[in-house]
Amino acid sequence: MVLDLVDKHQETLQAAVQALHKRTFFAHFPENPSPDTYGDTVDKEAQTSFKERLHTRFEELLQPEADDWVGQEESPYEQQPLGITYPFFEPETLVAQAENAFHVWRKVEPAMRAFILIESLERLRERFFEIAYATMHTTGQAFLMSFQASGPHAADRALEAVAAGYEELTRFPESAEWEKPMGKYNLKLQKSWVAVPKGIALVIGCSTFPTWNTVPGLYASLVTGNPVLVKPHPKAVLPIALVVAQIQKVLQENGLDPAICQLAVDAENRLITKELAEHRKIKLIDYTGSTEFGNYLEQLPGKTTFTEKAGVNSVILDSVEDLGKVVQNLAFSVSLYSGQMCTAPQNFFIPEAGITAGDEQIPYEEVVQKLSEAVSGLVNNPKAAPHVLGAIQNQATTDRVKAAKGKVVLNTCDFSNTQFANARTCSPVILEADATDKESYSRELFGPIMLVIKTKDTAQSVELAQELALSHGAISCGAYTTNPQVKEQIKDAMSLAGTPVSFNLTGGIYLNQNASFSDFHVTGGNPAGNASFTNPEFVIKRFTWVGFREPVSA
Amino acid sequence: MVLDLVDKHQETLQAAVQALHKRTFFAHFPENPSPDTYGDTVDKEAQTSFKERLHTRFEELLQPEADDWVGQEESPYEQQPLGITYPFFEPETLVAQAENAFHVWRKVEPAMRAFILIESLERLRERFFEIAYATMHTTGQAFLMSFQASGPHAADRALEAVAAGYEELTRFPESAEWEKPMGKYNLKLQKSWVAVPKGIALVIGCSTFPTWNTVPGLYASLVTGNPVLVKPHPKAVLPIALVVAQIQKVLQENGLDPAICQLAVDAENRLITKELAEHRKIKLIDYTGSTEFGNYLEQLPGKTTFTEKAGVNSVILDSVEDLGKVVQNLAFSVSLYSGQMCTAPQNFFIPEAGITAGDEQIPYEEVVQKLSEAVSGLVNNPKAAPHVLGAIQNQATTDRVKAAKGKVVLNTCDFSNTQFANARTCSPVILEADATDKESYSRELFGPIMLVIKTKDTAQSVELAQELALSHGAISCGAYTTNPQVKEQIKDAMSLAGTPVSFNLTGGIYLNQNASFSDFHVTGGNPAGNASFTNPEFVIKRFTWVGFREPVSA
């Protein structure tokens, strides 16, 4: 079995490592959920399987008898509990099992770990539709995003982490003969090096992207030899439970302890995240979520942490070729999954004198008006809106949108979803603020909230976008300028704020999207997070190089 | 000038990058201070130059007019102040100058930064003897170690950091065209990436290895585009002042701001380390020194720190081929620079039943006796002792050796140095402890102190060595065993404690030595330090990858 995996996945691994360094388009898992690719029956079967899971126990995990069965998920489309329960284990039980598994997994060769993990991803491929429905009915994402983000895109991000880890683990020789000329004789030492995994890893998931944001840390820790406890958000367990179950199956098939990867759920009245994070045996922590909790994790002593926290993403409008295309693009960006993406833009900086579009000067008011019309047009298009906006994961987001303060340009509305009459929905609200009123726009307002900020000029827009990124974090930035000098200024300012910039996007690509093997996700260089999918730092901090040496016998 | 540097150093850079990955013997700077290599006159000139510097101002730095002139160095060989003074600047002045320099230096291409830095090292080559006498009369190292450690070995470690930094900075493409097939059309984006330096770096030196422990962080921060403030230990300024002056000269010759690298000395009553370390504009900190201060630095928020702190290094004695050779080797290891190396062994674990040597079983007492005789033999050899032991940098070390408690096997003595009658000297003391008396051996006793610990058996020796490394840190470990299984057990146990192991060393190689481009110095995997010379982590944490993208115009 094990040898088969080498033959099966050698090419995938090599191609993935190469792709990391080419950074041109590369995707191993097809993102189009078409029957041609995935078969005619799989969608239907996944729908049935999802329905059959409701109000039952999730019994696929290869973990011992549970201390309890717990579950708190509800569908944002139905606003009804899913009723699925998962096995609950005491943190000490999970850690003890992980520690046993550590001493097995760390001794598996890096290449073999990579092949086993790739096998788990290939097997997940057959379950992408199942994961999609699980994602849809926990996060509120529309079907296509649920499929792509939690299925092929997540799997590609996982493969990226495997490739990056494998590359780093094999970057120094396993052994070498060191021979130092000493004049009359040579000193000869046989040397060897091992990449020693740090220990038990904890991966803490979020409610909006339960697999996409979890699998990079999960696979990065696994490929580098660390057993993992996956602690999902209590409201979004099923998508990642399916992933963990699949990893466990592949581990077992290859004669390995399934406890190398365990699901660690909270009970309703027993949140175990802090207990696990503070456990002295937990050495690595991956986290996606609030800034407050992320900061708490980052300062825990004796841990290596990888965080993605909140950010305030800016769009700088300076000059455009075709304003119509620009506002269409931005309206989509802010509406996609109702602004519940960490990469969604929030602050739109527009100079008080307006912007140039081709040869024309468009007044500030008109730019705002056009943005508003583009958003309205999208929200009021019944064929598009439900598939773009999806549903709202958490009632608090809806409440935040409705309570948002400022000069209203466009009100939010509960648009109706013909397929799900009971869906929790919310469309983008647009509010205006003045550049001087910093407090109003200097924090993340998670959800579909657009703040239009009138600035003195583009220089001020850039300065504010940089300042916000440096002090509050930013994960993405959009900029529109036809002026090469302004572009260079924006690049320089935002690079110092550790924020990637998408320039002049129109058409079918949006600033909130990013591509595995090409776009680094989060830079680690501002308060929005200390880690990046997947730069070398994301993997090498998970192990330690240790060397041995001995004189060569004559 | 600049183009010349490319031609001059291209080959050196390529060879150094290659050496990082081969990890066979590589040295760019010759370690033998012979006239054949370095010329007939340079030693004499350096001695004269050192004498002429005494009681004068160090005026070689290209820094503005000083706020004050300060100096506290004294020679451990003469126990007299050197009387050399250095320009003192207010931290705010240093930071302001570094910030200006940052915006110049970060825009210099990585390759050009590497060539400029290599040029500075090549120019230092001419000053190795000068640096050697400066090191000798601040640290107390004997001449040969002063020359090798502060000269060629330090320069090789600096070159290693330059090579590692350059490699990481050029590991991803500057730009790529990303083209995603969308069925009927392709999405095309032009992408580019920059490695953005984190900001102003602070490198805090130690008193015993003022250049060797400083230049890796200094050159690593510089090659990755960060300006550096070098804060030497107040008792060991001259060696690194010469390095900083040389870097500044090369920067100025190449039309760059010398403030890219500044010397930042303490005044006698104004220690500026904490003020600098806590300054919000300082982003990177390299440190060698006490555990207490290192821990303080590691927990400072908003900084990336690289530390080397104290450790408790163990020697595990299980079985040997020739005990005579082994004790000779160990006696040298503990005597070299009177145990003032961070890699010097302290705790010697010997089973109560003794050890096997060839076919013989040597009782515990006899092993201890032989160790003691080997140390005595070395200390009482007037031709060797002064050149091995050197002098004691700090009176506190002598006091610690004299006050060390335990069952005395060998007393320390003030051996006499014929060349320097007034030298502060101290030879190794050997004390016995029982394995059960953990307190006596569970901390670093800096200086020539050997603790012989009687254990139940080798398994207990290994367990204790691992436990000590995990809880108190370790930088090196020596192990003697002829049993392959025991060797594997030691490798496994010490790898989990992030400690490199030298097996069965005899003859001319010692466990406290380590080689650039082959041995990682400190692993970062235990409390002895969080960084390693020079693994990829040592350089990549000094910059952030930031990407830009834009649709390709039709």
Please give the interface size between A and B, counted as residue pairs whose CB atoms are below 8 Å apart. 172
pLDDT, one tens digit per residue, over A333-355 is: 999 999 999 999 999 999 999 99
> CB-based contacts of B506: which residues, under 8 Å, 6+ apart?
A551, B322, B325, B326, B328, B329
C-alpha–C-alpha distance, residues A120 and A396, integer Å:
36
Element (H, E) at B480: strand B477-480
B85 touches chain A (CB under 8 A): no
Q: Which residue of A has its CA nearest to B541?
A: A537
% of chain A beyond a pLDDT of 70 = 99
Candidates B18, B513, B541, B545: best to mutate against A (most CBs of A within 10 A) is B545
Determine the pLDDT at residue A416.
86
Q: Say if CB A412 and CB A427 are below 8 A apart.
A: yes
Q: Which residue has 């299980």 as its token pair?
A: B318
CA-CA-CA-CA torsion sign (B483, B488, B491, B497): negative
State both tokens at B145. Answer: 């170690």
Give the one of B496, B507, B550 whose C-beta lies nearest to A504's C-beta.
B550
Give the one of A32, A171, A500 whose C-beta lies nearest to B548's C-beta.
A500
Contacts of A182 in chain B (CB under 8 A): 508
Contact check, Cβ <8 Å, B23/A176: yes
Q: Which CATH number fits domain B42-309+531-547: 1.10.2020.10, 3.40.605.10, 3.30.70.260, 1.10.1660.10?
A: 3.40.605.10
pLDDT, one tens digit per residue, over B337-385 is: 999 999 999 999 999 999 999 999 999 999 999 999 999 999 999 999 9
* CA-to-CA dists, residue A229 to A150, A260, A265, angstroms: 19, 8, 9
The chain-wide mean pLDDT, for chain B, equals 96
C-alpha–C-alpha distance, residues B13 and B165, integer Å:
11
B523 touches chain A (CB under 8 A): yes
- Min distance A495 CA to chain B CA atoms (Å): 6
pTM above 0.90, yes or no: yes
Residues 27 to 46 of B: which have CB under 8 A from any A CB? 32
Contacts of B537 in chain A (CB under 8 A): 537, 540-541
Task: State the pLDDT confidence band at B183, using cuts at 50, 70 and 90.
Answer: confident
- Min distance A533 CA to chain B CA atoms (Å): 11
Among A375, A379, A402, A404, smallest CA distance to A390 is for A379
Give the one of B491, B515, B540 whose C-beta lies nearest to A548's C-beta.
B491
Contact check, Cβ <8 Å, B535/A518: no
Give the one of A179, A495, A518 whose C-beta lies nearest to B194's C-beta.
A495
Contact check, Cβ <8 Å, A549/B519: yes
C-alpha–C-alpha distance, residues A308 and A291, integer Å:
8
Determine the pLDDT at residue A554.
54
B500 touches chain A (CB under 8 A): yes
Task: State the pLDDT confidence band at B416, using cuts at 50, 70 and 90.
Answer: confident
Determine the pLDDT at residue A501.
98
- Give the DSSP per-residue string, A243-288: HHHHHHHHHHHTT--GGGEEE-PPBTTB--HHHHHH-TTEEEEEEE
The chain-wide mean pLDDT, for chain A, equals 96
Task: State the pLDDT confidence band at B3, using cuts at 50, 70 and 90.
Answer: low
Angle at B230 between CA B225 and CA B236, to 5 degrees: 150
Q: Say if CB A34 and CB A145 are below 8 A apart.
A: no
> CB-based contacts of A43: which residues, under 8 Å, 6+ apart?
A33, A35, A129
pLDDT, one tens digit per residue, over B74-108 is: 999 999 999 999 999 999 999 999 999 999 999 99
Q: What is the DSSP letter of A409?
A: E
Structure ipTM: 0.97
pLDDT, one tens digit per residue, over A158-178 is: 999 999 999 999 999 999 999
A520 touches chain B (CB under 8 A): yes
Q: Say if CB B281 and CB A470 are below 8 A apart.
A: no
B395 touches chain A (CB under 8 A): no
Residues 429 to 488 of A: which have CB under 8 A from any B CB? none
Torsion angles phi and psi, residue A13, rounded to 5:
-65, -45
- Min distance B90 CA to chain A CA atoms (Å): 26
B537 touches chain A (CB under 8 A): yes
In this structure, how many other beta carbons lie within 10 angstroms of the beta carbon of residue B478? 25
Domain ranges of chain A: 2-309+531-547, 314-503
For domain A2-309+531-547, give the CATH number: 3.40.605.10
Domain B314-503: homologous superfamily in CATH: Aldehyde Dehydrogenase; Chain A, domain 2 (3.40.309.10)
Strands (DSSP E) found in B104-182: 175-181
Candidates B318, B505, B544, B553: best to mutate against A (most CBs of A within 10 A) is B544
pLDDT at B66 over 70: yes
pLDDT at B232 over 70: yes
pLDDT, one tens digit per residue, over A420-442 is: 999 999 999 999 999 999 999 99
B303 touches chain A (CB under 8 A): no
CB-based burial, B410-429: b 16+ in 10 Å, e otherwise: bebeebebeebeebbbbbbb
Task: State the pLDDT confidence band at B505, using cuts at 50, 70 and 90.
Answer: very high
Contacts of A548 in chain B (CB under 8 A): 491, 500-503
Terminal C-alpha separation, chain A: 41
Q: Say if CB B210 and CB B150 are below 8 A apart.
A: yes
- Segments of chain A scoring below 70 in pLDDT: 1-3, 554
Helix (H/G/I), strand (E/B), else coil: B213: coil
A299 touches chain B (CB under 8 A): yes
Q: Say if CB A93 and CB A67 are below 8 A apart.
A: yes
- Min distance A9 CA to chain B CA atoms (Å): 24
A179 touches chain B (CB under 8 A): yes
Contact check, Cβ <8 Å, B196/A518: no
pLDDT at B1 over 60: no
Torsion angles phi and psi, residue B111, rounded to 5:
-65, -40
pLDDT at B554 over 70: no
Contacts of B172 in chain A (CB under 8 A): 21, 23
Q: Say if CB B542 and CB B226 are below 8 A apart.
A: yes
Give the one of A187, A508, A519 whose C-beta lies nearest to B508's C-beta.
A187
